[in-house]
Amino acid sequence: MAFGIGASGVMGIALEAVSGTYVAPTKYVPFSEEGLQYQQDTNWRRSIRNSPDVNFAVAGNAHIEGDVSLDATDDVIPYFMYASRMDVVKTGSTPNYTYAGTPTAVATPAKTMSITVVRNGQVFGYTGCVVGSFTFGMDDGTLTYQASIVGADETTQSNPTPTWPTTTPFGAGMYSVEIPTASVITEVDTFEWQVNDNAEPQYRMKSTGRGAMFIKFGEREVTLSVERDFQTRADYDAFKAMTAQSIQITASKGANNSIVFLMPVSIKDTYEVNLSGQGDLVRGSVAYQNMVGPATATYTLTVKTQENIV
């Protein structure tokens, strides 16, 4: 799978084999911000030689690291799912497809990405990229996505010619929040759902290049935070009792264009209630820890779209 970014602010993506061989962009992505960087650990040597200064530099290990922020559209998110620590099952046929992702316990990804970034005409090609963590959230009613990328190396590539998608982002009036699942509530105005797989570059002795050999995953943390009106003490008392709930959040533009987040076992980690002034609403800031259940995964991420990813 490949991912790339084009001239003067273009991002394109493509899925690649885990070997980290660069693949030219197959999908171009409008983005809000990116901070991908080539990180190298130079070894600055100070031999004892009648001088307090650095004598010379020795090349150290290197890898790619940084964040990419964009609107969470149904035609783009499946690419990032394939490069995340999850098992993605594709079903359906032209023109409607479903990508169902569930977390796994694997140490290394099944797919990596090539990410091509063009900054003011200068092309940067990053290989062996995986999603170390990702966050879905809200920005004035728009569903957003941020991926923390960890990659193996950088290559020099030619300037691509982007073909931009026309998919409309999810906006106000397109959401359903169920706490617990099947009980739709209307007092939530924002949320943030984060999955952190603690990805780390792995270096090994080799004779070709300085980039990481591969990226490994660590322990997983899945958290959800919501801002909501405080209705009664019943939910607050459930926080003190550490009662588990199933939570589902759906963003939908129709039957075949949606993103669904399901967290079957969610326990409130913190519950803050405030009243800042006379006549104010009582608001609740609730943070959940999502856990693996006896017969359920920590979460499922399901995307319905017309995007056909081979």
Q: What angle do CA 86, 246, 188 make, to 5 degrees?
A: 100
Q: How far apart are CA 88 and CA 100, in angstroms?
A: 5
pLDDT digits (tens, 9 = 90+) for 217-255: 999 999 999 999 987 889 899 999 999 999 999 999 999
Domain spans of the chain, in order of start: 2-41+62-158+170-305
Strand intervals (E) in 104-141 = 112-119, 122-139
Average pLDDT of the residues in 189-207: 95
Instruction: Note whether 145 and 113 are within 8 A (CB).
Output: no
- Summary mean pLDDT of the chain: 92
Average pLDDT of the residues in 78-92: 96
pLDDT score recorded for residue 6:
41
Q: How far apart are CA 199 and CA 178, in angstroms?
A: 31
- Judged by DSSP in three states, 234 sits in helix
- Judged by DSSP in three states, 251 sits in strand
**Is the confidence at residue 5, as pLDDT, over 50?**
no
pLDDT digits (tens, 9 = 90+) for 13-28: 999 876 678 999 999 9
Which amino acid, one-letter code, is at 63?
A: H
Question: Two tokens at 299?
Answer: 């979460």
Tally Cβ neighbours within 10 Å of residue 132: 25
pLDDT score recorded for residue 125:
95
Comparing C-alpha atoms, which of 164, 176, 173 is closest to residue 76? Answer: 164
